[in-house]
Every structure is written in structure tokens, then in C-alpha cells.
Amino acid sequence: MIRVAIIGAGMSGLAAAHLLKNDVEVTLFEKSRGVGGRISTRRNGDLAFDHGAQYFTARTAAFKDFIQPLRNKGFIARWDARYAKIDGTKVVARKNWGADHPRYVGVPSMNQVCKHLAKDLDIKKNTKIVTMNSQDRWQLTDAKGQLYSGFDWVVSTIPAPQACEIVPAYFRYHHNMSTIKMEPCFALMLELDNTISLDFDAAHITHSDLSWMAINSSKPGRSEARTLVIHSSKEYAKSAINNSSAEVMQHVLSEAGRVIRCDLNGAEHKAIQRWLYASNENEEPTATVLLDHEHKLAVCGDWVLGGRIESAFNSAHDLVVKLKGECL
């Protein structure tokens, strides 16, 4: 049977594995101890924070079909949030997502989606692939020097800058990857004091060093402990990427207090996360399917189609359709 190695176990990698597993033998390699990439959740006792991707939409028929079994099992639900758009400190628009196009979240946490998709797949966690070589078949080497051999195809699903480091320069689309600029983001996680009342569940923010704020505990299936997740703007993240965590935390905390006109310094739990590759600088699609027939190499990921969770799936889906139709 044809053997395929997939580097990365985020949404693109997991989706590609599911779409291929009935036709080929698939092995995934994930550098972290868990799956999901930025579809992630951090916990501290009873507190839980979806500190990466906040929600997702499903507009294409293929993605709707893919997530329907997870919806049926209760691992995905609509988030009918009270939404606001904030310009500086002023709310300039409001809507109820319950009357709008569906936004979905994992239940009881965002990472539950990928955890469920990972079941029954062959995933080698804590395994960072650092080199790949091919003669007749592909051989991968991890950061500890361990070799993994005998793969007919390799599919990289990791962020473009990381892929450029390990995918050989002769890959047909290596230049395409090298032009992709990924942007960082900081995520601040707070336990929200019961004395603080906000008149929204989720908000996009402009003219600020923040871009997003959400009462994480307002999502379906969460615990009663009130939690707040705040994302910085990409502009601020780029300017402060080398600052200490303490400096970044205090700045984001102060800016959040300014935006909602409330002192958040008294939060009992505070944590900061730096996402180095949070989004593609160009949110428009930058390529189609990156498939090199000659070298049996392929690349996909959310950054290929401009970002978002659905983009991650669609990139994997389009790649697998072409791979099955032309190569397998």
C-alpha cells in the first residue's frame, strides 16, 4: 500500500489524513504534545481558555459534510454570541449571531474538534521533523535523530516559514512558500471577576493595540467560571514580539481596560501566549493546490487559502482531491 507522511496535526493535517486513510497508509508527525495547532485550549483548574482560533464558519459543501458527524455527536455547536464592533472605545455596531450566519465552536472546548479527529489515526507526537531526503522513497529525520523511512509521498501542513526550513529547495512551489509572510499575535487569558459586566460576548476591535475580545465562558458547553480571552492586533504583536511576557501582559491588560473602561488588573488568573504564526499577512488566497508530482511532495494549510479554520480544511480537501485524481 502507498505510504504517506503528513507533517503537522492541525486541522489541515488531520483533514488530509481522514480524506486519505481509506486509500493509503497515513502517518502524521506533530512536534507538540497535543494536536490542533492554533485550534487550542489552555486550562488552569476549573478555568478554560480557547486562546487560539475563536470560532469557525462552514460555507463550502465539503466542509459542512465533514463537520456534520461532529455536530451530530455534540462536539461542535453554534455560538450565538452577542457581538459588538468596537472602534477605539466606542461600540459602533451590534448584532446577535443567533440571527446571522452560523459561527461554530468545539464543545466543551475548541481543541475537542481536533482531539476527536485524531482518534484512530497514527500520530507521532512530540516529534519535530527537521530534515527530509528522498532517493526511491522519502526518509524523515526528527530533532532527536530518529529516522522514519519508506514513504511514497510527503505532505507538509505546517506554517509556510517552518515548511521552507525542511522542504527541499527543489520542491516546485518552494518559491511560493518563501513569499508568504506570517504575522504574530498575543493572547491574554483572564479570569473575569463577577463584579465586571460586559454587554457583549464577542467583539472585534479597531484603532487599538487589540483586535478581539471574548467572554470565553459564554460559548456553549463551558463551565460557569467566567473567562476572558483578548487578542492583540498584529501591528502591536510585530512591534513587541521581542518584549518580555510581563511587559506584553501589562500592556495588553491596560489596553483592554481602556477599551472597555474597566480595571482588569485585579484578575486572579492571568496568562499570556505568543502565537508566532497566527495569520497570513495576505488574507486573500495566495495559491491553489501546491502539488509536485515529480518529487511526490505536497503542501497545504490555512495560509494557502488566506487563513481561517475552514481554509485549512479546504486546502487539504482540494489537495487530496487532486492527489487521488492524478497521483494515487
More confident residue, 194 or 143: 143
The angle formed by the CA atoms of residues 20, 24 and 27, to the nearest 5 degrees, is 80
For 40, other C-beta atoms within 10 Å of its C-beta total 22
Instruction: Answer whether residue 147 is part of any domain.
Output: yes
Sequence-separated (6 or more) residues with CB below 8 Å from residue 134:
168, 295, 296
pLDDT tens digits, residue range 262-309? Answer: 999 999 999 999 999 998 877 655 567 999 999 999 999 999 987 899
> For residues 255 and 210, is the Cβ–Cβ distance under 8 A?
yes
Which residues span the domain enclosing 209?
42-111+182-280
Residues 29 and 71 in one domain: no
Instruction: Answer whether residue 117 is part of any domain.
Output: no
pLDDT tens digits, residue range 86-131? Answer: 999 999 999 999 999 999 999 999 999 999 999 999 999 999 999 9
* DSSP state for residue 28 in the 8-state scheme: E
Residues 147 and 267 in one domain: no
Sequence-separated (6 or more) residues with CB below 8 Å from residue 16:
6, 155, 157, 300, 316, 319, 320
Instruction: With 0.85 as the threshold, say if the pTM is over it.
Output: yes
- CATH number, position 216: 3.90.660.10
Q: What is the C-alpha to C-alpha distance for residues 297 and 173, in angstroms, rounded to an integer?
A: 10
Q: What is the C-alpha to C-alpha distance for residues 272 and 279, in angstroms, rounded to an integer?
A: 18
* Three cell numbers written together for 193: 471577576
Residues 189 and 172 in one domain: no
- Residue 195 banded pLDDT, cuts 50, 70, 90: confident
Q: Span 147-158, mean pLDDT?
A: 98
The per-type count for the chain, helices as H runs and strands as E runs, is 8, 20
Helix pair 61-72, 111-118: axis angle to 10 deg = 90
Instruction: Answer whether residue 251 is part of any domain.
Output: yes
Residues 133 and 262 in one domain: no
- CATH number, position 161: 3.50.50.60
pLDDT tens digits, residue range 78-95? Answer: 999 999 999 999 999 999
Q: How many domains does the chain have?
A: 2
Residues 200 and 258 in one domain: yes
Instruction: Answer whether residue 49 is part of any domain.
Output: yes
Residues 214 and 257 in one domain: yes
Q: What is the C-alpha to C-alpha distance for residues 26 and 123, in angstroms, rounded to an integer?
A: 9
Residues 295 and 276 in one domain: no
Residues 131 and 252 in one domain: no
- Statement: residue 188 has pLDDT above 80: yes
Residues 319 and 193 in one domain: no
Beta strand 202-206 with 82-87 is parallel
Residues 195 and 162 in one domain: no
The angle formed by the CA atoms of residues 28, 134 and 13, to the nearest 5 degrees, is 20
Residues 205 and 325 in one domain: no
Instruction: Answer whether residue 119 is part of any domain.
Output: no
Burial class (CB in 10 A: 0-12, 13-18, 19+), 210: buried
pLDDT value at residue 286: 55
Residues 97 and 192 in one domain: yes
* DSSP state for residue 117 in the 8-state scheme: H
Instruction: Answer whether residue 116 is part of any domain.
Output: no
Sequence-separated (6 or more) residues with CB below 8 Å from residue 63:
310, 313, 314, 317
